Structure 1
Amino acid sequence: MNMLAICGSLRKKSTNMGLLRYAQANAPEGSTITIADLSAIPFYNADLSEKPAAVITLLQQIGAADALIFGCPEYNYSMAPALKNALDWASREPENALLNGKAVALMGAGGGMGTSRAQYHLRQVCVYLNLHPLNRPEVFANAFTPAFDSDGNLVDEKIQGTIKTQLAALISWAAKLK
Protein backbone atom coordinates (compact mmCIF):
# COMPACT_ATOMS: atom_id res chain seq x y z
CA MET A 1 0.00 0.00 0.00
CA ASN A 2 1.55 3.26 -1.18
CA MET A 3 0.15 6.33 0.59
CA LEU A 4 0.84 9.99 -0.13
CA ALA A 5 0.60 12.54 2.68
CA ILE A 6 -0.11 16.15 1.77
CA CYS A 7 0.24 18.89 4.38
CA GLY A 8 -1.58 22.18 4.11
CA SER A 9 1.07 23.95 6.18
CA LEU A 10 4.38 24.89 4.60
CA ARG A 11 6.20 25.58 7.90
CA LYS A 12 9.01 23.16 8.74
CA LYS A 13 7.99 23.07 12.43
CA SER A 14 4.29 22.74 11.63
CA THR A 15 2.38 20.51 14.03
CA ASN A 16 0.34 19.29 11.06
CA MET A 17 3.56 18.21 9.38
CA GLY A 18 4.49 16.66 12.73
CA LEU A 19 1.37 14.48 12.53
CA LEU A 20 2.34 13.38 9.03
CA ARG A 21 5.95 12.72 10.03
CA TYR A 22 4.71 10.51 12.85
CA ALA A 23 2.40 8.67 10.44
CA GLN A 24 5.26 8.20 7.97
CA ALA A 25 7.59 6.83 10.66
CA ASN A 26 4.87 4.45 11.86
CA ALA A 27 3.42 3.22 8.60
CA PRO A 28 1.96 -0.25 9.03
CA GLU A 29 4.06 -3.16 7.81
CA GLY A 30 3.85 -3.55 4.05
CA SER A 31 2.96 0.09 3.47
CA THR A 32 4.86 3.27 2.72
CA ILE A 33 4.00 6.90 3.25
CA THR A 34 5.62 9.61 1.16
CA ILE A 35 5.15 13.25 2.17
CA ALA A 36 4.60 15.60 -0.75
CA ASP A 37 6.52 18.88 -0.90
CA LEU A 38 4.15 21.74 -1.72
CA SER A 39 6.67 24.54 -1.15
CA ALA A 40 7.27 25.21 -4.87
CA ILE A 41 3.69 24.66 -6.11
CA PRO A 42 2.34 27.90 -7.60
CA PHE A 43 -1.32 28.83 -7.29
CA TYR A 44 -3.40 27.09 -9.91
CA ASN A 45 -3.81 29.31 -12.96
CA ALA A 46 -5.48 28.03 -16.14
CA ASP A 47 -3.45 30.59 -18.11
CA LEU A 48 -0.22 28.68 -17.46
CA SER A 49 0.59 26.94 -20.73
CA GLU A 50 2.88 24.35 -19.10
CA LYS A 51 2.72 22.70 -15.71
CA PRO A 52 5.65 23.65 -13.48
CA ALA A 53 8.04 20.82 -12.53
CA ALA A 54 6.86 20.81 -8.89
CA VAL A 55 3.26 20.33 -10.06
CA ILE A 56 4.25 17.47 -12.36
CA THR A 57 6.02 15.75 -9.44
CA LEU A 58 2.98 16.18 -7.19
CA LEU A 59 0.61 14.84 -9.85
CA GLN A 60 2.85 11.80 -10.40
CA GLN A 61 2.92 11.15 -6.64
CA ILE A 62 -0.88 11.39 -6.40
CA GLY A 63 -1.28 9.08 -9.38
CA ALA A 64 1.01 6.46 -7.83
CA ALA A 65 -0.71 6.56 -4.43
CA ASP A 66 -3.25 3.94 -3.37
CA ALA A 67 -4.54 6.30 -0.68
CA LEU A 68 -4.04 9.88 0.49
CA ILE A 69 -3.51 11.40 3.93
CA PHE A 70 -4.25 15.09 4.39
CA GLY A 71 -2.61 17.11 7.18
CA CYS A 72 -5.27 19.79 7.44
CA PRO A 73 -4.48 23.04 9.26
CA GLU A 74 -7.34 25.44 9.96
CA TYR A 75 -7.09 28.99 8.66
CA ASN A 76 -10.10 31.22 9.33
CA TYR A 77 -12.41 28.23 9.89
CA SER A 78 -11.37 26.57 6.64
CA MET A 79 -8.57 24.54 5.11
CA ALA A 80 -5.21 26.09 4.32
CA PRO A 81 -4.70 27.41 0.78
CA ALA A 82 -1.68 25.17 0.09
CA LEU A 83 -3.78 22.02 0.54
CA LYS A 84 -6.71 23.36 -1.47
CA ASN A 85 -4.33 24.47 -4.21
CA ALA A 86 -2.79 20.98 -4.46
CA LEU A 87 -6.29 19.53 -4.86
CA ASP A 88 -7.15 22.19 -7.45
CA TRP A 89 -4.13 21.22 -9.56
CA ALA A 90 -4.89 17.50 -9.29
CA SER A 91 -8.58 17.95 -10.08
CA ARG A 92 -7.76 19.49 -13.46
CA GLU A 93 -6.45 16.22 -14.85
CA PRO A 94 -8.81 14.69 -17.43
CA GLU A 95 -11.78 12.85 -15.89
CA ASN A 96 -10.43 13.71 -12.40
CA ALA A 97 -8.39 10.54 -12.90
CA LEU A 98 -5.86 11.19 -10.12
CA LEU A 99 -8.38 11.71 -7.32
CA ASN A 100 -11.52 9.89 -8.41
CA GLY A 101 -12.44 7.13 -5.97
CA LYS A 102 -9.33 7.31 -3.76
CA ALA A 103 -9.45 6.60 -0.05
CA VAL A 104 -8.41 9.51 2.17
CA ALA A 105 -7.58 10.00 5.85
CA LEU A 106 -7.77 13.44 7.46
CA MET A 107 -5.80 14.66 10.45
CA GLY A 108 -5.05 18.08 11.83
CA ALA A 109 -3.59 20.10 14.67
CA GLY A 110 -4.83 23.55 15.54
CA GLY A 111 -6.53 25.61 18.23
CA GLY A 112 -9.07 24.50 20.83
CA MET A 113 -11.12 22.20 18.60
CA GLY A 114 -8.14 20.97 16.63
CA THR A 115 -8.98 21.53 13.00
CA SER A 116 -12.54 20.22 13.07
CA ARG A 117 -14.05 23.08 11.06
CA ALA A 118 -11.39 22.83 8.36
CA GLN A 119 -11.67 19.05 8.18
CA TYR A 120 -15.45 19.25 7.74
CA HIS A 121 -14.95 21.81 4.99
CA LEU A 122 -12.35 19.53 3.39
CA ARG A 123 -14.89 16.70 3.50
CA GLN A 124 -17.20 18.88 1.36
CA VAL A 125 -14.42 19.31 -1.19
CA CYS A 126 -13.83 15.54 -1.12
CA VAL A 127 -17.47 14.99 -2.10
CA TYR A 128 -17.04 17.07 -5.23
CA LEU A 129 -13.74 15.39 -6.12
CA ASN A 130 -15.19 11.91 -5.45
CA LEU A 131 -12.54 11.23 -2.83
CA HIS A 132 -13.68 8.85 -0.09
CA PRO A 133 -12.65 10.10 3.38
CA LEU A 134 -12.39 7.60 6.19
CA ASN A 135 -15.08 8.32 8.79
CA ARG A 136 -13.31 7.00 11.87
CA PRO A 137 -11.14 7.49 13.71
CA GLU A 138 -10.88 11.24 13.36
CA VAL A 139 -7.64 12.95 14.37
CA PHE A 140 -8.11 16.39 15.92
CA ALA A 141 -5.11 17.57 17.95
CA ASN A 142 -4.63 20.77 19.92
CA ALA A 143 -1.39 22.23 18.58
CA PHE A 144 -0.88 24.47 21.60
CA THR A 145 -0.43 21.79 24.23
CA PRO A 146 2.48 19.57 25.27
CA ALA A 147 1.26 17.04 22.67
CA PHE A 148 3.96 18.49 20.40
CA ASP A 149 7.59 19.38 21.08
CA SER A 150 9.20 22.68 20.04
CA ASP A 151 9.98 21.28 16.58
CA GLY A 152 6.35 20.35 15.91
CA ASN A 153 6.88 16.62 16.49
CA LEU A 154 4.02 14.64 17.97
CA VAL A 155 4.89 13.29 21.42
CA ASP A 156 1.42 12.55 22.83
CA GLU A 157 0.91 8.78 23.15
CA LYS A 158 -2.89 8.93 22.88
CA ILE A 159 -2.79 10.86 19.59
CA GLN A 160 0.00 8.57 18.35
CA GLY A 161 -2.26 5.58 19.04
CA THR A 162 -5.16 7.21 17.20
CA ILE A 163 -2.94 7.83 14.17
CA LYS A 164 -1.81 4.19 14.14
CA THR A 165 -5.44 3.09 14.31
CA GLN A 166 -6.35 5.53 11.55
CA LEU A 167 -3.59 4.24 9.27
CA ALA A 168 -4.75 0.64 9.71
CA ALA A 169 -8.33 1.72 9.01
CA LEU A 170 -7.21 3.65 5.90
CA ILE A 171 -5.47 0.59 4.49
CA SER A 172 -8.60 -1.50 5.06
CA TRP A 173 -10.82 1.24 3.56
CA ALA A 174 -8.61 1.59 0.47
CA ALA A 175 -8.71 -2.19 -0.06
CA LYS A 176 -12.53 -2.18 0.15
CA LEU A 177 -12.75 0.61 -2.42
CA LYS A 178 -10.54 -1.18 -4.98
Structure 2
Amino acid sequence: MNILGISGSLRAASFNTALLHAAQELAPAGMSIAIHRLHDLPLFDQDVEDQGDPEPVAALKQAIDNADGLFLACPEYNGGITGVLKNAIDWASRSGRDRHTAVLAGKIVCIAGASPGITGTVRAQDQLRLVLRRAGAQTEPLGEVLVFQAHTKIVDGRLADERTRDALARHLQSYATRLAALRG
Protein backbone atom coordinates (compact mmCIF):
# COMPACT_ATOMS: atom_id res chain seq x y z
CA MET A 1 0.00 0.00 0.00
CA ASN A 2 1.76 3.13 -1.26
CA ILE A 3 0.60 6.33 0.43
CA LEU A 4 1.61 9.85 -0.54
CA GLY A 5 2.16 12.17 2.41
CA ILE A 6 1.79 15.92 2.03
CA SER A 7 2.33 18.59 4.66
CA GLY A 8 0.29 21.76 4.42
CA SER A 9 3.21 23.74 5.82
CA LEU A 10 6.39 24.94 4.11
CA ARG A 11 8.18 25.77 7.36
CA ALA A 12 11.45 23.87 7.90
CA ALA A 13 10.56 23.05 11.52
CA SER A 14 6.91 22.34 10.74
CA PHE A 15 4.94 20.36 13.31
CA ASN A 16 2.94 18.85 10.45
CA THR A 17 5.99 17.72 8.53
CA ALA A 18 7.16 16.11 11.80
CA LEU A 19 3.76 14.42 11.96
CA LEU A 20 4.37 13.02 8.45
CA HIS A 21 7.72 11.63 9.54
CA ALA A 22 6.04 10.04 12.56
CA ALA A 23 3.44 8.53 10.24
CA GLN A 24 6.25 6.99 8.20
CA GLU A 25 7.64 5.39 11.37
CA LEU A 26 4.25 4.23 12.64
CA ALA A 27 2.73 3.00 9.38
CA PRO A 28 1.32 -0.52 9.72
CA ALA A 29 2.97 -3.46 7.98
CA GLY A 30 2.43 -3.29 4.25
CA MET A 31 2.03 0.49 4.15
CA SER A 32 4.75 2.88 3.02
CA ILE A 33 4.44 6.66 3.07
CA ALA A 34 6.44 8.81 0.65
CA ILE A 35 6.53 12.54 1.33
CA HIS A 36 5.92 15.03 -1.47
CA ARG A 37 6.96 18.64 -0.85
CA LEU A 38 4.93 21.58 -2.14
CA HIS A 39 7.70 24.19 -2.10
CA ASP A 40 7.93 24.65 -5.88
CA LEU A 41 4.21 24.50 -6.65
CA PRO A 42 3.05 27.69 -8.40
CA LEU A 43 -0.19 29.39 -7.48
CA PHE A 44 -3.11 28.00 -9.44
CA ASP A 45 -3.74 30.05 -12.57
CA GLN A 46 -6.00 28.78 -15.33
CA ASP A 47 -4.05 30.79 -17.93
CA VAL A 48 -0.96 28.79 -16.93
CA GLU A 49 -2.95 25.55 -16.85
CA ASP A 50 -4.25 26.25 -20.36
CA GLN A 51 -0.64 26.17 -21.56
CA GLY A 52 -0.07 22.81 -19.86
CA ASP A 53 0.78 21.87 -16.31
CA PRO A 54 4.11 23.27 -15.07
CA GLU A 55 6.61 20.56 -14.07
CA PRO A 56 5.93 20.80 -10.29
CA VAL A 57 2.19 20.46 -10.95
CA ALA A 58 2.70 17.50 -13.28
CA ALA A 59 4.95 15.87 -10.67
CA LEU A 60 2.33 16.38 -7.94
CA LYS A 61 -0.44 14.95 -10.11
CA GLN A 62 1.70 11.96 -11.10
CA ALA A 63 2.61 11.27 -7.46
CA ILE A 64 -1.06 11.40 -6.43
CA ASP A 65 -2.09 9.23 -9.36
CA ASN A 66 0.54 6.60 -8.49
CA ALA A 67 -0.46 6.48 -4.80
CA ASP A 68 -3.05 4.14 -3.34
CA GLY A 69 -4.09 6.94 -0.99
CA LEU A 70 -3.06 10.26 0.54
CA PHE A 71 -2.07 11.24 4.06
CA LEU A 72 -2.45 14.98 4.56
CA ALA A 73 -0.89 16.70 7.56
CA CYS A 74 -3.05 19.76 7.94
CA PRO A 75 -1.95 22.85 9.88
CA GLU A 76 -4.48 25.46 10.94
CA TYR A 77 -3.84 29.11 10.10
CA ASN A 78 -6.40 31.69 11.16
CA GLY A 79 -9.01 29.02 11.75
CA GLY A 80 -8.67 27.34 8.36
CA ILE A 81 -6.52 25.36 5.96
CA THR A 82 -3.31 26.86 4.69
CA GLY A 83 -3.06 28.53 1.31
CA VAL A 84 -0.33 26.13 0.24
CA LEU A 85 -2.52 23.07 0.92
CA LYS A 86 -5.58 24.62 -0.72
CA ASN A 87 -3.45 25.51 -3.75
CA ALA A 88 -2.22 21.92 -4.08
CA ILE A 89 -5.80 20.66 -3.92
CA ASP A 90 -6.88 23.22 -6.51
CA TRP A 91 -4.23 21.95 -8.95
CA ALA A 92 -4.96 18.28 -8.19
CA SER A 93 -8.71 18.82 -8.60
CA ARG A 94 -8.23 19.76 -12.25
CA SER A 95 -8.10 17.25 -15.07
CA GLY A 96 -5.79 19.38 -17.20
CA ARG A 97 -5.24 18.94 -20.92
CA ASP A 98 -3.91 15.38 -20.80
CA ARG A 99 -6.50 13.72 -18.56
CA HIS A 100 -10.23 13.05 -18.55
CA THR A 101 -10.54 13.04 -14.76
CA ALA A 102 -8.74 14.78 -11.93
CA VAL A 103 -6.24 12.73 -9.91
CA LEU A 104 -8.16 13.45 -6.69
CA ALA A 105 -11.39 11.95 -8.03
CA GLY A 106 -12.09 8.83 -5.98
CA LYS A 107 -8.81 9.08 -4.03
CA ILE A 108 -9.04 7.99 -0.39
CA VAL A 109 -7.48 10.59 1.94
CA CYS A 110 -6.42 10.30 5.58
CA ILE A 111 -6.06 13.53 7.56
CA ALA A 112 -4.21 14.49 10.73
CA GLY A 113 -2.96 17.82 11.97
CA ALA A 114 -0.79 19.51 14.56
CA SER A 115 -1.03 23.00 16.03
CA PRO A 116 0.24 24.85 19.08
CA GLY A 117 -3.34 25.82 19.88
CA ILE A 118 -5.63 24.04 22.33
CA THR A 119 -8.12 22.81 19.72
CA GLY A 120 -5.55 21.24 17.42
CA THR A 121 -6.59 21.63 13.82
CA VAL A 122 -10.27 20.82 14.14
CA ARG A 123 -11.53 23.75 12.05
CA ALA A 124 -8.92 23.27 9.34
CA GLN A 125 -9.66 19.55 9.13
CA ASP A 126 -13.38 20.27 8.76
CA GLN A 127 -12.65 22.73 5.94
CA LEU A 128 -10.22 20.30 4.33
CA ARG A 129 -12.84 17.54 4.28
CA LEU A 130 -15.30 19.88 2.56
CA VAL A 131 -12.75 20.93 -0.07
CA LEU A 132 -11.68 17.32 -0.70
CA ARG A 133 -15.28 16.12 -1.08
CA ARG A 134 -15.91 18.93 -3.57
CA ALA A 135 -12.84 17.71 -5.50
CA GLY A 136 -14.24 14.17 -5.59
CA ALA A 137 -11.98 12.62 -2.94
CA GLN A 138 -13.10 10.60 0.09
CA THR A 139 -11.79 11.08 3.62
CA GLU A 140 -11.15 8.00 5.77
CA PRO A 141 -11.06 7.02 8.52
CA LEU A 142 -13.74 9.19 9.99
CA GLY A 143 -11.94 9.76 13.29
CA GLU A 144 -9.56 12.65 13.81
CA VAL A 145 -5.99 13.04 14.98
CA LEU A 146 -5.82 16.53 16.45
CA VAL A 147 -2.39 17.17 17.89
CA PHE A 148 -3.02 20.16 20.17
CA GLN A 149 -0.23 22.02 21.94
CA ALA A 150 2.11 20.47 19.40
CA HIS A 151 5.09 22.39 20.75
CA THR A 152 4.90 20.19 23.87
CA LYS A 153 4.54 16.92 21.92
CA ILE A 154 6.93 17.42 19.02
CA VAL A 155 10.47 17.86 20.27
CA ASP A 156 13.42 18.49 17.93
CA GLY A 157 11.29 17.58 14.91
CA ARG A 158 10.12 14.26 16.38
CA LEU A 159 6.70 13.30 17.73
CA ALA A 160 7.75 12.37 21.25
CA ASP A 161 4.39 12.10 23.05
CA GLU A 162 3.55 8.38 23.38
CA ARG A 163 -0.24 8.86 23.65
CA THR A 164 -0.21 10.88 20.44
CA ARG A 165 2.03 8.32 18.73
CA ASP A 166 -0.42 5.57 19.75
CA ALA A 167 -3.38 7.58 18.45
CA LEU A 168 -1.61 8.21 15.14
CA ALA A 169 -0.68 4.51 14.81
CA ARG A 170 -4.33 3.49 15.42
CA HIS A 171 -5.50 6.11 12.90
CA LEU A 172 -3.11 4.74 10.27
CA GLN A 173 -4.17 1.15 10.99
CA SER A 174 -7.81 2.13 10.58
CA TYR A 175 -6.93 3.84 7.31
CA ALA A 176 -5.06 0.74 6.07
CA THR A 177 -8.01 -1.48 7.00
CA ARG A 178 -10.42 0.83 5.16
CA LEU A 179 -8.20 0.99 2.06
CA ALA A 180 -7.86 -2.81 2.01
CA ALA A 181 -11.63 -3.20 2.29
CA LEU A 182 -12.25 -0.76 -0.54
CA ARG A 183 -9.72 -2.55 -2.74
CA GLY A 184 -11.61 -5.81 -2.18
TM-based fold match above 0.5: yes
How big is each residue's C-alpha offset from its partner over 1:122-175, in whole Å with a ceiling of 9 and x where there is no partner? Answer: 1111221221112443110124442011x3321111111111111111111122
Give the paired residue count.
177
Deviation at 1:95, TM superposition (A): 4.6
The TM-score normalised by the length of structure 2 is 0.90
Structure 1 residue 166 and structure 2 residue 171: aligned?
A: yes
Report the equivalent of 1:156: 161
CA separation in 2, counterparts of 1:27 and 1:141? 17
Say if 1:11 and 1:146 are closer, same or farther in 2 by CA, change over 3 A: same
Correspondence for 1:126 among 122, 132, 142: 132
On the 8 A contact 2:43/2:87 being kept in 1, the answer is yes
Matches within 5 A, 1:36-47: 36-47=36-47
Question: Paired residue for 1:66?
Answer: 68
Deviations 1:71-111 (A, max 9, x none): 10111111011111111111111454411122111111111
| Conserved 8 A contact 2:120-2:147 | yes
Query: What is the root-mean-square deviation in Å for CA atoms of aligned residues?
Result: 1.4
> Is there any run of 5+ residues in structure 1 with no aligned partner, and where?
none
* Residue identity matched to 1:154: L
Relative to structure 2, which stretch is displaced further, 111-120 or 139-148?
139-148
Q: TM-score, normalised by structure 1?
A: 0.93
What is the identity percentage for the equivalent residue pairs of Structure 1 and Structure 2?
40
